[in-house]
Each structure stands twice: as C-alpha cells, then as structure tokens.
Amino acid sequence: MVKIVKSERQNLGLFLASLAILGVIGLQLYTAKHLRDFWPKYRSLQALHRLLKAPEKPFLWPFIDYPMYSYPNYLGDDIKQYVILGILPDSTEVRIQAEDLGLNYWIFMYGFKEALRKNDRQDIKNFIQLYESRNNKKLIGVRLENHPLILTKEGVEPGKPKVVTDFKVNSLEEKK
C-alpha cells in the first residue's frame, strides 16, 4: 500500500516536471517565432496573432532579452541600421517610424522595409497610403537608407550612409 502511494506521488511529480519543461520549451518556440515575425506573414492567422501577441518586455525576460536570439558581430563588421525617409511635396525629408504607421517595430521592419528592399510596389503603396491617412501629410517619394554602425576597437562608429532604394509615388501608380 505504501509503495503504491509513493509510486503515484513520483509519477505525479514526474508529470508536473515534464509539463513545466514543455511549457518553457513552448514559450521559447513561441517567442522565437514572434521575434521572427512569423504570424503576420500568414493573413489567415492574423486573429490568432492578435490573441497570442507576446507581452512587452520584461514579462518574458529569460526568453526575449537573451543572446540566443541575436547574431554575433566582429571587429570591422557593418551593423545595418535602416532608415525610411518620406519626401514631402516641398522636398522636405521626414523620417518614417513604426509609430507613425501604428505598427510594432518587427512588422514595420519586416513589412515596410522589406517591401522597399524587394521592390514590392503594392505593399509600398499600401504603407504610403497608411502613412498619409494617419499623419495628414502627402508623400511624393520614399527612400530606404542604410546608416551602418562599424565595430572598432574603440567602440561603435557611424559608417557612411547609403541609399538602398528610392521610390517616387507617381511611379508606383503608373506601373501596376
């Protein structure tokens, strides 16, 4: 009788420990997929993405701010820092940021930046319309620039900015 009770306790303890381990692994997988912007790519999963959206840091501390999700950089490496600039009708340049579009950083960088980089005219047009409607500013162009940071022995130094792509809004409307 005593052996049976002891055996059941051991099984329960093993079961609970297994559940805890599976929970931690599941949370790591969910966080990794969230950081890689997995959900927004699949439009049919948008509602699920909103439901399962990861909380802001530090609530998932051991999983989000953890070096296993970053890549190493070495001396002399360029660390890409993309900047998206909108061009107004008076030729003024304004920096477009995720907050201007009501998006989080990852959707902004993997959506708008990638659309510019890959020359996806329809997505670029959609992001421009979103910017114009939210900010009441008309854009005549948009530019993607790389403002790299260079790792040196003294620290991080700014590199020479490079224009990656430059689009005029009227060229987006002409080519369908």
Same domain, 63 and 35: yes
pLDDT digits (tens, 9 = 90+) for 81-102: 999 999 999 999 999 999 998 8
Q: Can you give the pTM of this predicted structure?
A: 0.57
| Residue whose entry in the numeric block shows the structure tokens 């490496």 | 77
Same domain, 41 and 81: no
pLDDT digits (tens, 9 = 90+) for 14-43: 899 999 999 888 777 666 655 555 545 555
User: Structural domain of residue 116, as residue ranges?
Assistant: 72-174
Same domain, 115 and 165: yes
Same domain, 132 and 59: no
Q: What's residue 20's pLDDT?
A: 93
Residue 5, classified by CB atoms within 10 Å of its CB into exposed (0-12), middle (13-18) or buried (19+), is exposed
Count of domains for the chain: 2
